Amino acid sequence: MINTVDREFEAVHIVCGESQAGSLRVGLGRENRIIGFPDFFAVGPIWKLHQEGGRKCRYEWLRDHLNYPDDFIKEEYERRFSKTLTKIDAIPNHVPIIIWTAENADEQTGLRYLLYLLKEKANEVSFINTTTAYQDLFNTREFQYFYSHTSEVEPEKLNTIYQNKLQKPLTAEERIRFEKEWITLSDTKGVVRIWKNDKIREVGEGHFDELIVASAQILHDKQSKKDFIKAARIIAEVYSHIESNISDTFLEYRIRSLICNGIFEIKGIPKTMRHYSVKLR
């Protein structure tokens, strides 16, 4: 078995999300090492996430609010998070690092967090914006694409993007600017972020509640008589109207909050979004 720590690589690529990492592994080949950060940075606290206390705060919020399986946070999420930090710290100083990002709050927050984690490293660091690179390479007068997340792009096209749209390494000044932006972000206490007008913006926890209620009403209007609707079906309807990239587990949490606030009635046990149904009161 090849030891991926000792093997020489052309470059190390870091991307937010394990699905995106899988696509990069397929697209870029074995000469590149891929590290997928096992998290979604658009939701949950990021306060002092570069410190142990901040990570503990995030772990506890995710455990207390999102519907993950028993012990997932402690046994899976926390372990994978820690293992990924160790992988990043162990990158040899001579290997170029490429961070993949896109036009969404998850990957843009991750870009700044990762650059802060790399601040003591002497490696050349570049980044690729999948959204803009895809538009430059593949949009035509007839077909216009806007892929807001790296996970939406096919592996072979990720390779084309890498070969043609890799940016020059960041200067020291540019790295410092991103590091300072992370410090500003990590001083906030909010739990929801969106990407708007080329900026990460913190919004209230109930930012998507109105859309959830409107989506439920759309589905009720299609019924001959107002009846219960699976929570998963409402979340799917939300996705058909949403512009921001947001996790289904967070939307499911907001449905449960709307139940507690008397907006929805519930039938079933809210173990997962497929185990219960709701209807507007």
Domain boundaries, the chain: 11-194, 209-280
Q: What pLDDT does 98 receive?
A: 98
Q: Do domains 11-194 and 209-280 have the same CATH topology?
A: no
Which of the four pLDDT bands, split at 50, 70 and 90, describes residue 167? confident
For residue 12, give the nearest of 3, 25, 23, 2 by alpha carbon.
Answer: 25
- 250 vs 8: which has the higher pLDDT: 250
Rounded to 5 degrees, what are φ and ψ at 175?
A: -65, -40
Is 49 in contact with 109 (CB distance < 8 Å)? no
> Residue 43 above 90 pLDDT?
yes
User: What residues does 32 pair with on adjacent strands?
Assistant: 11
For 99-143, what is each residue's pLDDT tens digit? Answer: 999 999 999 999 999 999 999 999 999 999 999 999 999 999 899
Sign for the pseudo-dihedral over CA of 123, 112, 31, 38: positive
Q: Rounded to the nearest 10 degrees, how much is the dihedral formed by the CA atoms of 100, 106, 112, 117?
A: -80
Is 239 in contact with 211 (CB distance < 8 Å)? no
> Residue 5 above 50 pLDDT?
no
CATH 2.60.40 assigned to domain 11-194? The reply is: no
The pTM for the full model equals 0.92
> Residue 1 above 60 pLDDT?
no
* HSE toward the beta carbon, residue 169, CA cutoff 13 A: 10
Q: Residue 201's CB: how many other CB atoms inside 10 A? A: 14
Is 99 in contact with 20 (CB distance < 8 Å)? no
> Residue 177 above 90 pLDDT?
yes
Q: What is the DSSP letter of 199?
A: E
Q: Residue 266's Cα: distance from chain center in Å? A: 29
> Residue 53 above 90 pLDDT?
yes
CATH 1.10.10.10 assigned to domain 209-280? The reply is: yes
For 66-109, what is each residue's pLDDT tens digit? Answer: 998 878 888 899 999 999 999 999 999 999 999 999 999 999 99
CA atoms of 130 and 15, how far apart (whole Å)? 11
Sign for the pseudo-dihedral over CA of 3, 5, 8, 9: positive
Rounded to 5 degrees, what are φ and ψ at 84?
A: -70, -40
Q: What pLDDT does 7 receive?
A: 63
Tell me which of 26-30, 51-55, 183-187, 277-281 is least confident. Answer: 26-30
Residue type, 143: F
Q: What pLDDT does 4 receive?
A: 45
Is 151 in contact with 134 (CB distance < 8 Å)? no
Sequence-distant (≥ 6) Cβ neighbours of residue 270 within 8 angstroms: 67, 231, 256, 259, 276
Average pLDDT, rounded, for the chain: 94
Mean predicted confidence (pLDDT) in 224-232? 97
Looking at the chain, the number of H-run helices and the number of E-run strands are: 11, 9
User: What residues does 34 pair with on adjacent strands?
Assistant: 13
Q: What is the DSSP letter of 76?
A: I
For residue 134, give the nearest of 7, 6, 256, 23 by alpha carbon.
Answer: 23
Which of the four pLDDT bands, split at 50, 70 and 90, describes residue 3? very low
- What percent of the chain stands above pLDDT 90? 88
CA atoms of 269 and 112, how far apart (whole Å)? 39
> Residue 55 above 90 pLDDT?
yes
